[in-house]
Structure 1
Amino acid sequence: MKFIEVLLMKFAMVFAVLFMIFGLTYGTGVFDIFLISLVVTAVGFIGDLIVYPRTSNKVATAGDLVLDFILIWLLAALWIENPDFSIVMASIYSAVLLAAGEWFYHIYLTKRLWEHKETSHTLKQEPNRK
């Protein structure tokens, strides 16, 4: 159940960002935005489950930035017919906004899915034994 919750949260974030950039700004259809959001969410979630636990939030967010840009750019180029805007620029704007959201999503993912209370890299120091 927790996987579904965090997956839906990610989809909501991706759809909201793509709707703001592609839908409201450039007038792209909701169905195209929905399809792109599904693919970006699925691929990104798999990456979150594999990359993020083994690295840091910075590395996972940077990876999401690159992955989101490439996926959005390619999928938009394939699925949006006759765009009257620069798909590359819209993809860059979307990827940057998504990366900002991913930073906080990773913290949410850590707390909700793996139930860790601490999200920083601080280690508890053991008391000095003499």
Structure 2
Amino acid sequence: MEHVKLIMIKYFATFVLLYLVLGIAYGLTTSQIFFVSLISLALYFLGDLFILDQTNNFIATFSDVVINFIVIYLLLDVVGFAGDRLIAAFISSIVLGFYEIFFHLYVTEEFSYEHEPISIGRYDYLMELSEEFEPFIDDEEDDYY
């Protein structure tokens, strides 16, 4: 059930952000944005469930930005976008990347992806390797310590 809720949140946010960038700024229709959002929703399973589980938020967000850029760039050609696809895909993927930062924090909290940090333990074995600087000559002097 958590997946359904997360998919709905991600789809709605992706649709709204893509509508702001591609719909208002570049003039794409709502049905075209619906199609691009639906296809980019398939990235939920790759980026948010697989990459985020294995790595951290930064790497998962960066990979989502790159994958979103590639997918949106290719889909803008499919829907017949007449403008500059490179700039439109870049701006869209950056805007979605800012959203993904916070969405990954929510996904991490929902699924408890917190991993134990890898312990790079320092084993400080202390041992004395030198002789005393002022050795006691007489055993009777040991009493005052």
Band of TM-score, shorter chain: 0.7 to 0.9
CA contact (8 A) 1:65 1:98 kept: yes
Whether 1:94 aligns to 2:96 is: no
Gap regions ≥5 residues in structure 2: 120-145
Letter in 1 for 2:23: G
Gap regions ≥5 residues in structure 1: 124-130
Q: 1:32 is matched with which residue?
A: 32
Aligned equivalents of 2:22 and 2:37: distance in 1? Answer: 11
Give 1:44 shift.
3.4
Structure having greater relative contact order (Cα 8 Å, sep ≥ 6): 1
Q: Identity percentage over the alignment?
A: 31
Q: CA RMSD in A?
A: 1.9
Q: Which runs of 4+ in 1 moved over 6 A?
A: none
Aligned residue pairs: how many?
117
Partner of 1:51: helix, strand, or coil?
A: helix
Aligned equivalents of 2:81 and 2:54: distance in 1? Answer: 41
Whether 1:104 aligns to 2:102 is: yes
CA contact (8 A) 2:7 2:44 kept: no
Task: Report the structure number with the largest CA radius of gyration.
Answer: 2
Deviation per CA, 1:6-38, whole angstroms, max 9, x where unpaired? 011111111111101110111101111001101
Q: 2:6 is matched with which residue?
A: 6
- Give the direction of change, closer, same or farther, for the CA distance of 1:49–1:29 in structure 2 (3 Å limit): same
Q: 1:67 is matched with which residue?
A: 67
CA contact (8 A) 2:69 2:93 kept: yes
Aligned equivalents of 1:107 and 1:47: distance in 2? Answer: 13
Aligned equivalents of 2:8 and 2:112: distance in 1? Answer: 18
